[in-house]
Structure formats: structure tokens, C-alpha cells
Structure 1
């Protein structure tokens, strides 16, 4: 009808903030009563002959506004829906609505699901920015389109095996010997290396982090053979929640030399992902070590640390940057004491200056990594003498055929 009349249609998407907390803490009957109050609020606030109000499911409601007004009026409607509802019946913080608005205009493809997605995207953006309401405007549309293109490029990169690993050294602070290398994922996009900061969040959200992580693990296994040196690999929580996670790890790494592998997982992922602990425990039983990455920035309970399958604490770079202050040094001292109490090793990451290295040595940190000690490179990054391999059994490399090399002629 709007196409015939050349009018717009708006979809107003409302989400109840904190609804899960009400259900979990106060019971489903209180949650149901809250939903009924939201429905009454929407019926009262969104009126007119060309308006339809409904509940999509869970705590999500929509209002469809035919013959929709200009964006400024839709913003005012979203604000009134947000400001006009404040439910205090659950105790504690009041329950509010977060609102997203998307509009169909004549000439657009008739795609109701896309309109719902756009309104949902606007609502999620309002949650992220804590603004309470947001309209799916041109700027948000451009961002969504850019993310769609990036996701398509990321899927292509995985299919074409464009991901590889670069290796950063972990060194002894006393001797500068390279003790280990950490395999870091890099996306080789038409000869240009794309760092994880530009694609990691999308890879985790889309699930593409699973094949990317397995690629890096395979590269790490090959690095063990090339460098004859232990390797560390970052793993995402998503990898540990796969139904066949153990089989995937075994296929990528192999069935031997687990004792030369360190699996690094962020503190928040380790604590918040229930499935992570049994999988890590099983891999640890095979001989692998487990490191808590970015330690001190997550939400772990110190009392739980002794019960988690952990061997190493990695001091986050944010604490290393603050070593020039007493607050920063105090945080590092606390982490070292905690590690000693639980018989854990400590590695400080993000060392960028000689002053930071000196401060860490003074504090008793024995293992560090960072650009000051060596940047991540495709080959073995060496700073100082390599450690002897007397305690590390030589890893048998795969059999390779030898090619003859022409002998140089006299005089050359």
C-alpha cells in the first residue's frame, strides 16, 4: 500500500533492558507481569489508525507505523518510548526500554526481514552507545554495508587459506635467550598484512575464528619442527565450545609433542565459558600448558584460580605501560605474588622500552615479550643466543626430498 501511496513505513524495535535478570532473580511470573506492563505502555504511547503494535518474542516488541512521518518525528517517538517507561517493581535499577527505528521508503526492495534487521541493528547500536534509542540512518547503513563486505572478504580469505602465522619471541630477561615463540594470526590480503585488531571481532562473531584458529595451530606445529622451540597459540572461547573441539585440536596439532605447546586464552573467556575448562583440562592432560592471556583485565575470582587448569599468567600490556607509576608496579607485584602462591609462571607482554624491561627485571619477572625484544615475523625472531635444546627432544621434521645444486664453475 505504501508503494502505491508513495509513503514511508517505519518499524520501531523495542527491547526490555535487564529482562533476564528479572526472570532469573524474581521468577517468570514477575517477568510476565513486566512484559504486560511494556505492552500497555506501547499501546498507550503509539497510537493511530495506521499503527500496529506486537510482541516478536522474548522481551522484544515492535510497532509498525504506516504513513510514517519524517525522521525527526520518529526520533521524538523513540525518545518518548524510552523516557516514558521506567519500571521499578523489580527493585534495584529501574527497567527501561532500548529503542531502534528503521524506515522503508518507496523504491526500496520490499524485504520485511531486512527492515527488522535494520531496526534491530539500530537498537543494538543504542545499547552499545548507551544512548537509549537510535534511528537506522545513512551513517549506520554505511557501517552495516562495510561490515557485510568485510565479512564476505573474511569468508573468502578463509576459503582461499590467506591466513598465516607470524612468530614473536618470548625471552629470558636475564640472558635475552629466546625461550619460546608465540604464533600470531595474520591475514595476507593481496600482499598486505591485516592485523587481528581489524578483523578479530568479526571473526569471533561470525564463527570464522574456528577455522582461522586451527590454521594458526597447524602453522605452530610446523614452527615447532622448523625452529625446534616451544610455541604458544591464542585460542578463542568459540573454539572450545565446538562439539568436536578435542578432535579438531588433535587433527591440527597431531598426536605428539603436546608438552611443547602453550594454549593462551583470555581471562574473561576462561571464566565465562563453562565448556572451556573440561576441554582445556583434557588438552593439559596430554601435556599442553595453559596460559591466561591479558591477566588482570578480566573478571576472574582469585579464589577460583587454583581450581582452573592454568600454568602461566601473562601480565597485560596495560600494566606494563604503567610501570613508571607506583600503581602500575603495585599491580605487577600483586600478580607475581599471586602466581608464586599458585606455583604459576609469569610472562609480561607488550614490552616496548628498555625502561619497562629494566623495571620488570627489578620486580623479578623472568620472561617477557614485546616489540622491544622482537617483532612478530614469519621466520624465527632471535634476540640473544638460542637456548640449548638438551632438555627439548628434537622434533622429527617431515621427510623432504633433496634437490641437487649445480657446482660453481672455476673462477665464479
Structure 2
């Protein structure tokens, strides 16, 4: 028998534009009701389920439409209903307008706080008979990640949307955490995918355990977004506490993942980078909330230290936009040859003999209005700095390598840049090499990761062949500031290219990774002492350290060259310690290839 529908006039609750849009656009039938069951608002999806229109349902009694005894007893009263921010699910029978009875899963959530009168509730109804809705008492298998038993990306986003819709209708916050497993690819490559899969299952179980321990009633949803990246959404009934709770959960996740995990007698030690953002404090749209948590996680990922948990703030977003602008400029420079190479002389400052030129990359600003760091302020030509660059007014704005190379490395562009530099620097230097003594070298700084690449020897030999530059005029610098990821490949390539007559130097000596091991195992002919050892703040034992390095170089029968020399006082101190080679502004600033001849004439005449 069809139930009677009343059309008493009720005023719908005030909704924010975002909440109202989500409520009315939802494909799930939803009602806003009072404790008595009177419907004060409904969305258009109710027509498909109930048979009555939205306007017909407003003012009717919802409990009369849901044919379940507990709704008509004391089991549902103001003392036994969901608290704000929580909900309970019931399977009931809906009586449609035509009298048909349909099994429905209802979710009843309180929208207003406990002091607001009248109390309002959201009743959402999903047809269990529909093949396209969630199956009875659970999610469809397609929505569960079979490896970790977390929600799939699509299912998680849907759950998050529902959570945000409820939060928009009430004074509830939502904390969103993005979790990325550090070094997961390396674990997969080293031990195989079964071990990597076991680690992901372990991580998912630990995330669930943390939620159960830290969040009231274990509320929260875990999804696997793909690969080794997870997301966690947590409803928080006290909005002011959302950030603190999210941070607590994030830090606990970091702690449990750092604990050793044993699989197949292999002990794994890893870590996780966690970014968090909250609704509505950080963002109010799901897509923007997703992006905010992702930005925070990215910030944690690229921070090499103990701090692997970051909460979103606006400066992160601004910083990411700035990085993207740099990446666009680097890609443009690669496509349009808008890089420049400047050359800084290396000299023996006792004999005034020219040893070589280090190639230093610059990038032209592609936007004439762009602001940001440019090359060092040029000095006027003179006896202590011959061949200085033109003034800023005479030359286009240039960005120094520190302003774009770290970003390029994070976005995987260093290989392309290295290829460009090797070809262009050898060609430019070959055109002027005849002006100098036959043993003056071109020095190219090559990232360790590019040096270890399988095709690196072919790249160098191809550039030498194309330019006509002799292998004896090329010196490749490996920076100690980067760890050697594939040491055997690095050594093999150095031995291979060394047989052709190419020489090698170790840049930034004294500041990086395993310096003595590198010096002992690899065929370096020159160590370049990092400029920090010449700085006044080097420490009270700085002179002793430099003296020890000078002595070490002598024992190893390799040359020692000091970087960053800017004063005659530094030269005197180095000579007193037995070091005679250097580079720095005192001898010459980095300059374009067409200025090298002028610099050399001035240097030779001084």
C-alpha cells in the first residue's frame, strides 16, 4: 500500500554554495530530515528511488517511507542517534510510490551540533538491487585494491567526496594525508617485486593500526592511489584540532614505517614521506585539497633529512609554481639553444701559467620581465680581473647554474643538459684552443649520474670527433657533492676514457661523499679544494685541514687546485702551505668564449 505524502511547507536548511551543489548533484538519493522524520530538503535523485519528486517529498515523513520497525520505536531518538561527524548504516526496505519494496542501504548522519535546534540529519539511500551501486554490506571487489586491501584510487576519491559533502553541511573538518614510500623503486629493483609487494601490504596494515590507535572509533579511509603512494582521509569533529590530529597520525606513520620489516629473511629499513592538508582550513574543493596534500608530500619527499612530514602552507604552492616556471625555461633553453657557456681560467699563480678553463653554464632569461638571480656582478677589466663580462646593461640577463640546475635535476633534465654542454663546450673551445699552449685543458663538470650512464663514453667521443678537440685537452670533473650510485660503472668509464688521454678531477673536494674512497679508487689527476676552506668562517682548525689536504695530494702525486680565490692574502696563505694552483675572481671571472683571447693577452702581459 502506498504511503500518504504530505506537502507541509518547510524551509530548507541554509547551505554553502559548495555544499548545496554537492548535495543536489549527488547521484545518491539524499534527504535532510528532523528527528521526527519530517523531510525539509531532498535532492533530485530521490525521484528514481522513491517515485515521488523532490517537491512532493518535502514536508512528508521519511520514516514512513523506510519500512523498518526500529525507526518507529524508541531505538531511534535523540539519545541514540549519530553524534556530529559520525554516522551509522542500516539496511532497510523502501516502499516506492507504486508500492514496490526495494532493499536499500541507508546512512544517517547528524548535520547540526548538539546544541542546535531542531536537530537535522542527512539520510542517504543506495539501492542494493542496482548492479551499478555498491553490493550488499560492502564495496564491489573492483573498488578494493587486491594487493593491499585498501580502496582503489577511484573508490577513495568517491568516499572522500562523500566525506567532504557531509563536512560541508556540518561543523566537521577532514584531514587528508598523502604517503609515499621512500626508496621503494630501489627495494623492488634489488630484491624483486614479491618483496616490494610484501612491503606495501605491511605498510597498509600499519596505516590501519595507526588509525585504530590514534583516531576515535578508528574513523578514517585508506586508499592506494597507485604504486607506492597511499592516501588517508580522516573526519574530525573538532575542526580546530584537525591539524594536530593529522600531524599526530602522520608522525606515527613515519615512526612505524621506519621500524625494520623482515620478509623472506630480508630485513628492510625504509621511510615514508607524508604530506597533509585539511578541509576547510587549507582548501575547500576536493581537487585543490588533493593538490595541497600532494604539494606537502612532494616537499617532504625532496627534503633529505629526518623531517619527512610536512603540513601544507601557501609558500609551498608558490615555491612549486616557481619551480615549474624554471622547468619551462630549461625546456625552452634546450629547444632554442638559449643556454650560454662561460669559461673561468685555472692558473698556476706562482708561474702565472694558464692550466685550463672550467666551462660554467648560464641560462638566458626567456622572459625579459623575469626577475630572479642573475650572474655575479661583473667587475671592470683590470690587472686582477682581466676579461670581465660586459655590464648588466650591455648583456642580457643570465641565470647562474645554482638558480636552475638543482630544479632541473629533480625533474630529470640533467641528462639532456649534460649532452648539450658536452657538445657545445667542446665545439666552442676547439675554435679558440689554438690561442693557448697545447696542454691547456677544457674542464667540464659532469653529474655523477650522467657519468655513470652506459652511453656516456660514446657521448664524449662523439663530441670530440665532431669538434676536432684532442682528448688530451679535455678534463672531466666529477663532483664530490653527489654520491656515486654505480661505482663500478663510474670507474669503468674513467678507465676507458682515460685510455684515450682524457684526464679527471674531483670537484668540491672535502665537502661530499666518501672523498678518500673516491681518491683511492679512481684515476684523478687533480683535486679541487672547495671554496669553503678559504672562507673566514672555516673554523679554528681550517688551516690545519688545508695543510693536511695539501700533504695528502702530494703523497698521492695529484695536483691540488683551490677554488674561489678572491684576494692576494688567500694566495699567500696557500703558497705558504704548498698549494700553487687556483681559480677565482682574482684571476678572472667566467666569460664568454669570444672574450678568452682578450683575457689571455691581458693575463700574459701583466
Q: Does the pair score TM above 0.5?
A: yes
Instruction: Give the secondary-structure state (helix, strand or coil) at the position aligned to 2:334.
Output: helix
Q: Which one of 205, 211, 229 corresponds to residue 42 of structure 1?
A: 211
1:78–1:130 Cα change, 3 Å: farther
TM-superposed CA distance for 1:314, in Å, is: 0.5
Q: Which one of 200, 205, 216 corresponds to residue 410 of structure 2?
A: 205
Alignment of 1:14-25 (within 5 A): 14=179
* 2:176 counterpart of 1:11: yes
After superposition, the C-alpha distances for 1:143-196 in whole angstroms (9 at most, x for unaligned) are 111111221121111111111211111111213232211111111225211101
After superposition, the C-alpha distances for 1:108-155 in whole angstroms (9 at most, x for unaligned) are 584897466335225437x55755532222221111111112211211
Instruction: Give the secondary-structure state (helix, strand or coil) at the position aligned to 2:362.
Output: strand
Distance 1:234 1:96 in 2: 32
Q: Which one of 314, 324, 328 corresponds to residue 138 of structure 1?
A: 314
Distance 1:226 1:96 in 2: 51
Instruction: Give the secondary-structure state (helix, strand or coil) at the position aligned to 1:385.
Output: helix
Alignment of 1:259-270 (within 5 A): 259-269=472-482
8 A contact 1:349–1:370 mirrored in 2: yes
Q: Which one of 125, 148, 153 corresponds to residue 324 of structure 2?
A: 148
Counterpart in the other structure of 2:398: 193
Distance 1:375 1:339 in 2: 26
Alignment of 1:349-368 (within 5 A): 349-368=563-582
Bigger CA drift: 155-164 or 299-308?
A: 299-308
Distance 1:157 1:123 in 2: 29
Distance 1:20 1:110 in 2: 27
8 A contact 1:11–1:119 mirrored in 2: no
Distance 1:178 1:37 in 2: 62
TM-superposed CA distance for 1:265, in Å, is: 1.2
* 2:536 counterpart of 1:310: no
Distance 1:324 1:129 in 2: 24
| Unaligned ranges ≥5, structure 1 | 387-412
TM-superposed CA distance for 1:206, in Å, is: 2.0
Counterpart in the other structure of 1:237: 448
8 A contact 2:274–2:300 mirrored in 1: yes
Q: RMSD between aligned alpha carbons?
A: 3.9
Distance 1:100 1:195 in 2: 31
Instruction: Give the secondary-structure state (helix, strand or coil) at the position aligned to 2:398.
Output: strand
**TM-score, normalised to structure 1's length?**
0.78
Structure (1 or 2) with the larger CA radius of gyration: 2
Instruction: Give the secondary-structure state (helix, strand or coil) at the position aligned to 1:217.
Output: helix
8 A contact 1:182–1:231 mirrored in 2: yes
| Unaligned ranges ≥5, structure 2 | 1-17, 24-164, 262-268, 367-395, 435-439
- State how many pairs are aligned: 382
1:244–1:148 Cα change, 3 Å: same
Highest relative contact order (Cα 8 Å, sep 6+), 1 or 2? 1
After superposition, the C-alpha distances for 1:272-317 in whole angstroms (9 at most, x for unaligned) are 4433222222222211111000001012152552221322110000
Q: Which one of 322, 331, 351 corresponds to residue 175 of structure 1?
A: 351
Instruction: Give the secondary-structure state (helix, strand or coil) at the position aligned to 2:541.
Output: helix
Counterpart in the other structure of 2:64: none
* 2:385 counterpart of 1:216: no
Distance 1:18 1:217 in 2: 31
Bigger CA drift: 372-381 or 232-241?
A: 232-241
TM-superposed CA distance for 1:57, in Å, is: 6.9
Counterpart in the other structure of 2:141: none
Distance 1:361 1:226 in 2: 31
